[in-house]
Structure 1
Amino acid sequence: MKKSIFFIFTCLFTVYGYSQAIYESFRSIKLDQSRELKIQLPRNYNKNVDKIYPLIVVLDGDYLFEPVAGNVDYFSYWEDMPESIVVGINQRKTREDDCRYDSAEFLPDLKGAEFFEFIGQELLPYLNKTYRTAQLKIIVGHDYTGNFINYFLFKDNPIFQGYICLSPELAPPMAERITNKLSTSSEIWYYLATATNDAENIKKEVIALDEKMQAVENTEMDYFFDNFDESSHYTLVGRAIPKALEGIFEMYRPISKKTYKEVLLTLEETSPYDYLVDMYQTTEKLYGIKRKIRVNDFIAVSTAIEKNKNWSELEPLGKLAIKEHPDTMLGYYYLGMFYEQTGEPKKAMRAYENGFQLSEVAFLTKDYMLDKVNKIKEDFGW
């Protein structure tokens, strides 16, 4: 039954996803053996030669790769997260040895220590050299591997900034170690999940860890937790992965109707224009990716400016729109509105005329811009 569920789940994501997996055999000196990798590159990876991408490493790649890769492809298609490179490590025959820890210090031991070094000292350098990876790197694990991914968190400068920890079978002191580390960590995303029908011992330990984490006060770290009702140790994976990606990439998403109503329209100490600039500067810092400001985000901000009649903000907004989208009429439309509302009709008319010569965008058409010009001429008898 479990295998059937995962087969259907995998097929759904395979159909959804446009990108196809690349299969590679990687020879490891640390492990003295080859490991099978599954790699999904973003759509148009080969065309966007100057673009870099976050890296998501998936342990238990033999069954966990497809749901992660499918969600990443789907979310990035709708711009709810950046396009990312997903790499799965198959462990069907080796996962217990790969995740082995000693019974004294409860740290990676024997094959577990070798696997830890393989990821940090061999695999990641290879991926960074071979593919265009960004600064942001995320690792995903489930039960045994869900415990194992935490060992990377304990390094002084963790090589992963995001951890998706699905129903982990925690080592005895792991909860305390995680809590202590995340109490002082900065720029770390940590997602933890269990379910009401999870294995009882796992659920108990995970809930206890969440209780410890609720007491942590650290604004430099982002922590997310889910306890899914009526899901099992296996089915929670399908619900947890999208929730984890939503949490980690919350700042990346377009300005929503809720943000427009509850944030942009109620700003007091800053302006909608400053909010827009800060939003994109923050996402660049967090995710290591510089991106063009979305047209829809410009429209949300300009609508808030018009609603509150803060006309002076339209001038910097227009200049920014010209910089970000120079081939469209968007920026000149905002400049035209600014001049019109501040009593400079001739400048407004020239701005609309300049915009008329450029490409249409969103609600702006050549007829609309021409109407703006003719209306000014009519009002002033020109």
Structure 2
Amino acid sequence: MKPLLIVLMAFLMPISHFAQIKYESLPSQKLGETRQIKIQLPRNYEKNTEKRYPVMVVLDGDYLFEPVAGMVDYYSYWEDAPEMIVVGINQDGLRTEDTQYSETNFLPVDKGAKFFEFIGMELLAQLDQKYRTANFRIIVGHDFTANFINYYLMKSNPIFQGYINLSPDLAPEMADRISQSLNKAETGKWYYLATSSEDIPALKDEIKELDNLLKNVDNKQINYKFDNFEGASHYSLVGKAIPSAIESMFEIYRPISRKDYNEILLQTSVSPSEYLEEKYNTITELYGIQKQISVNDFMAVYNAIEKTRNWEEYKDLYKMAHEHYPGTMLGTFFEARYEEETGNPKKAMRIYQNAYGQENIAFLDADFMLEKAEAIKKDFGY
């Protein structure tokens, strides 16, 4: 689906129908004033009392919050990205002061330095105290604020792991500083950069120069994506860039694709069950969240095992299925298939029969499982 179409769909469906929107006033000692913020909590936040969520901080929240929050809700609904707590900081009339930097060393100064500390020392701390946050944070900005978010990247232990730069208006020396920071990064960082053919010419030229630098970053900890959208303006590129950024930052989070199925799972040198386990362990390591293995991903591995006839793979798969979907027929079916194909048809028949009374899942129901048991009984005369 085209990114612009996704954006339009998100706007056509009221965000409040999908997620909880809260408007809060946050007193700041650093700024000496109260700032207005918007917070979108994930669907069913109140019900999932044990679940923790990554945080996405959106600068220019007066106009950028809604498109970002809508896309996060849309992608998380389809499980292409995790549910997140999205926080927008309203900067209408304040963004120039908030993003102020020195004319000598080009680092935050005066109100800009205070705003930098407000986000890092007050906003995030209060979010962590008030909400169930995970230790994965993304920050988003547009032109002036997109330049500003990169100052967090320069810290020795950055508080943000993801950076979404929408047509940044780069300060002098910023390109080299970003490149150096990414080259030295010791933990995973996701960096997204966007411009367009109709972007402001001066910005576009500097962004392309930055892209040339970042293409040469040699660091396995860095996940970098650059977009140069054809025909989009400085403002309309935002609608295309947000879904692209989300997709690039959460590529491994998405369900197993047709491409992964054909190029990885069907290769006999690959253990499909190990691939599945490693995929979800990586999600936990990268994003700090526990994700239940989806039924669709279990089915992808099941189909791969059937295609490659690597029956031993069922042994680990049925154990994972019993763990993730206890009380359902999923683990029972995989276990029965394992016994059926490894020379224990009588045991397989009994396992199929034991599924009676368990919860239906995917294509599995009592009739299907009993038919499988009857087929074995008929074939072997039990």
**Shorter-normalised TM-score: what interval?**
over 0.9
Matches within 5 A, 1:57-136: 57-136=57-136
C-alpha distance in 1 between matches for 2:161 and 2:57: 12
C-alpha distance in 2 between matches for 1:372 and 1:68: 48
Matches within 5 A, 1:125-274: 125-185=125-185, 186-266=187-267, 268=269, 270-274=270-274
What code does the residue aligned with 2:205 have? K
What code does the residue aligned with 2:358 have? L
Greater Cα shift, 325-334 or 141-150 = 325-334
C-alpha distance in 2 between matches for 1:367 and 1:9: 40
C-alpha distance in 2 between matches for 1:16 and 1:299: 33
| 1:18 to partner: Cα distance | 1.5
3-state SS in 2 of match to 1:134: strand
- With the length of structure 1 as denominator, give the TM-score of the two structures: 0.96
User: Would you identify which runs of 4 or more consecutive aligned residues in structure 1 move more than 2 Å?
Assistant: 8-17
CA contact (8 A) 1:143 1:169 kept: yes
C-alpha distance in 2 between matches for 1:36 and 1:255: 40
| 1:310 to partner: Cα distance | 0.3
CA contact (8 A) 2:11 2:70 kept: no
| 1:32 to partner: Cα distance | 0.5
C-alpha distance in 1 between matches for 2:46 and 2:15: 22
- With the length of structure 2 as denominator, give the TM-score of the two structures: 0.96
C-alpha distance 288-10 of structure 1, shift in aligned 2 (>3 A): closer
Greater Cα shift, 344-353 or 227-236 = 344-353
Task: List per-residue Cα deviations over 1:240-288 (Å, max 9, x = no partner).
Answer: 00000000010100111121111111252x3001000000000000010
C-alpha distance in 1 between matches for 2:122 and 2:153: 18
| 1:133 to partner: Cα distance | 0.4
What code does the residue aligned with 2:12 have? L
3-state SS in 2 of match to 1:250: coil
Give the root-mean-square deviation of aligned CA atoms. Answer: 1.5
Question: Which residue in 1 is equivalent to 2:5?
Answer: none
Task: List per-residue Cα deviations over 1:75-117 (Å, max 9, x = no partner).
Answer: 0011111110000000011100000000111000000000001
Question: Which residue in 2 is equivalent to 1:342?
Answer: 342
Question: Which residue in 1 is equivalent to 2:283?
Answer: 283
C-alpha distance 290-369 of structure 1, shift in aligned 2 (>3 A): same
| 1:302 to partner: Cα distance | 1.1
Q: Which runs of 5+ in 1 are unaligned?
A: 1-7
What code does the residue aligned with 1:192 have? L
Matches within 5 A, 1:319-358: 319-358=319-358
Task: List per-residue Cα deviations over 1:146-194 (Å, max 9, x = no partner).
Answer: 0000000011110000000000000010000001111121300000000
CA contact (8 A) 1:16 1:74 kept: no
Question: Which residue in 2 is equivalent to 1:41?
Answer: 41
Q: Which runs of 5+ in 2 are unaligned?
A: 1-7
Greater Cα shift, 180-189 or 234-243 = 180-189
| 1:10 to partner: Cα distance | 8.5
3-state SS in 1 of match to 2:36: strand
How many residues are matched?
375
C-alpha distance in 2 between matches for 1:110 and 1:116: 10
CA contact (8 A) 1:95 1:145 kept: yes
C-alpha distance 101-13 of structure 1, shift in aligned 2 (>3 A): farther
Q: Does residue 295 of structure 2 align to residue 301 of structure 1?
A: no
CA contact (8 A) 2:10 2:71 kept: no
| 1:356 to partner: Cα distance | 2.7
| 1:219 to partner: Cα distance | 1.3
3-state SS in 1 of match to 2:328: coil
| 1:13 to partner: Cα distance | 5.9
3-state SS in 1 of match to 2:24: strand
CA contact (8 A) 1:196 1:229 kept: yes
What code does the residue aligned with 2:73 have? D
C-alpha distance in 2 between matches for 1:314 and 1:131: 40
Identity %: 55
3-state SS in 1 of match to 2:298: helix
3-state SS in 1 of match to 2:223: strand
